[in-house]
Structure 1
Amino acid sequence: MPSDIKKPAARLNPFGMSKAPKHPSQRDDLKRRDDEGGPPCSGYPSHKPPQAPEPRAETALYYFNLRTEDGLVDDPEGEKYPDLQAARDAAMAKVRGMITEGDQIGENRRSWCVEVMDKANQTVLTVAFSQVLDRKAND
């Protein structure tokens, strides 16, 4: 072998170490951002899966129509509730409030009721004022 051919010198950084780590564990603190494919980021836990968003309760739109001796008073806007039980609780609260208001002005509202309608305009629940008044009397 001719002596005039020189072997390439090993590339070393100024500290005498090669640029590549000897063991993969030496680079554990520099992990890539999996979601961005970006540069290494110290301490970024790339091995953890992204967190799923918290499930949200589906809400439904309910209309609270008021039926009196004189006719029907439509609820044009409605309100959203997570389920029928929550809508029932809201209807009961509305009825209690209207009973109290009627008592203050001396109006008998015993024959009134609230008809809870779904978005298809179907009656899903009826709350009679007389039922609420009877419960109040028994409490």
Structure 2
Amino acid sequence: MPRFFFHYRTDDDFIIDPLGTELPDLEAAQEQAAEVGKVMLAKAVEAGESPQASRCIEIVDEEGVEVLYIVFWASASKPGTVQAEELLKPPTLH
């Protein structure tokens, strides 16, 4: 089973996934990245960070090749109204 690594990037940080996760295919890795993105976004909002800030997950294969780059963010109908719970709804990938 292939191993995928999920590196998290913001404008200020780059967090490397040193262990990776064994998953059956890239589609499963994409679903995993969406779940990780939701959790990271919820934590960022809980910490008082802007939900509109640039964030992404870079999915890298075992050879170190980037196979997918997922950008995610949340937007609110009114500034300052996004709650962390709202961010845990099913993801939309862009």
TM norm structure 2: 0.72
Partner of 1:12: none
Q: Note the C-alpha offset of 1:89.
A: 0.2
Measured against aligned partners, the alpha-carbon deviations of 1:2-56 in whole angstroms (never above 9, x if no partner) come to xxxxxxxxxxxxxxxxxxxxxxxxxxxxxxxxxxxxxxxxxxxxxxxxxxxxxxx
Runs of 5+ consecutive residues of structure 2 not aligned to the other structure: 76-88
**Larger radius of gyration between Structure 1 and Structure 2:** 1
Matched, 1:111 2:68: no
Cα root mean square deviation, aligned: 1.8
Matched, 1:98 2:40: yes
Runs of 5+ consecutive residues of structure 1 not aligned to the other structure: 1-58
Q: Percent identity?
A: 32
Kindly indicate whether structure 1 or structure 2 has the higher relative contact order, using CA contacts under 8 Å at least 6 residues apart: 2
Give the length in aligned residue pairs: 76
Q: Note the C-alpha offset of 1:108.
A: 2.0
The structure 1 segments of at least 4 consecutive aligned residues displaced by more than 4 Å after TM superposition are none
Q: Note the C-alpha offset of 1:105.
A: 1.3
Q: In the TM superposition, what are the counterparts of 1:46-57 in structure 2 within 5 Å? A: none
Q: Note the C-alpha offset of 1:71.
A: 3.8
Equivalent residue for 1:75, pick from 17, 24, 41: 17
